[in-house]
Amino acid sequence: MNVNLSDGESSMSKGGKQSSDIFDIDRLRMIVELMEEHELSEVDLQQGDEKIKLNRGSAAPVYMPSAAAPASAPVAAPAAAAAATPAASANTITIDAPMIGTFYSRANPESEPFVKVGQRVTEDTIVCIVEAMKVFNEIPAECSGTVVEILVNDQQPVDFGKPMFRIDPNA
């Protein structure tokens, strides 16, 4: 659930006084408390040209690269992830998250998972869905082999380049 506050809306501080600075630290603390109380995961605030987005429930900060980000930046993330587990990936390849979002292992809660450990996949096999900005993106395997490990839990956030599946192309 998102809550948007903009210039035209009333902005009251704890004491009931009108506050002109939407980014006041006491006001931000109050908003975080309200987010927790009402189980909100995200709040967008805007005052004039200044904007702030508050997220809660994510273990790591979410980074959204701008359109002007250099093309070489995304390449570093998968390389770092592969270097972190060299022994586990010696004979396997990974299917990495193509974007920041939420991982879903099944189409809906009543469905079977798209893939299971031990299942053979081809380039066109849909292995999961990654939700990004309310868009559900089907992720194909883009390789052939046998699923040897699922590295992400259902409904867990994923970052760009995060390994989601380990595939043995020789099995």
| 46/53 Cα distance (integer angstroms) | 9
Residue range(s) of every CATH 2.40.50.100 domain in the chain? 93-168
Burial of 164 (0-12, 13-18, 19+ CB in 10 A): buried
- CATH fold, domain 93-168, is OB fold (Dihydrolipoamide Acetyltransferase, E2P) (2.40.50)
Letter string b/e over residues 4-24, b meaning 16 or more CB atoms within 10 A of that residue's CB: eeeeeeebeeeeeeeeeebee
pLDDT in tens, 62-107: 444 444 444 444 444 444 444 444 445 578 899 999 999 999 999 8
- Token pair, residue 144, equals 């052939």
| Core vs surface per residue 33-67: b (16+ CB within 10 A) or e | eebeeeebeebebeeeeeeeeeeeeeeeeeeeeee
Q: What is the DSSP letter of 100?
A: S
> What is the bridge-based pairing of β-strands 135-140 and 126-132?
antiparallel
Which uninterrupted H or E stretch holds 81?
helix 73-84
Helix (H) or strand (E) holding 80: helix 73-84
- How wide is the angle at C-alpha 78 spanned by C-alphas 76 and 83, nearest 5°? 95
pLDDT tens per residue across all 171 residues of the chain: 444 444 444 444 444 444 456 667 777 777 777 777 777 777 777 777 777 777 765 444 444 444 444 444 444 444 444 444 444 557 889 999 999 999 999 988 898 999 999 999 999 999 999 998 888 899 998 899 999 999 999 999 999 999 999 999 887
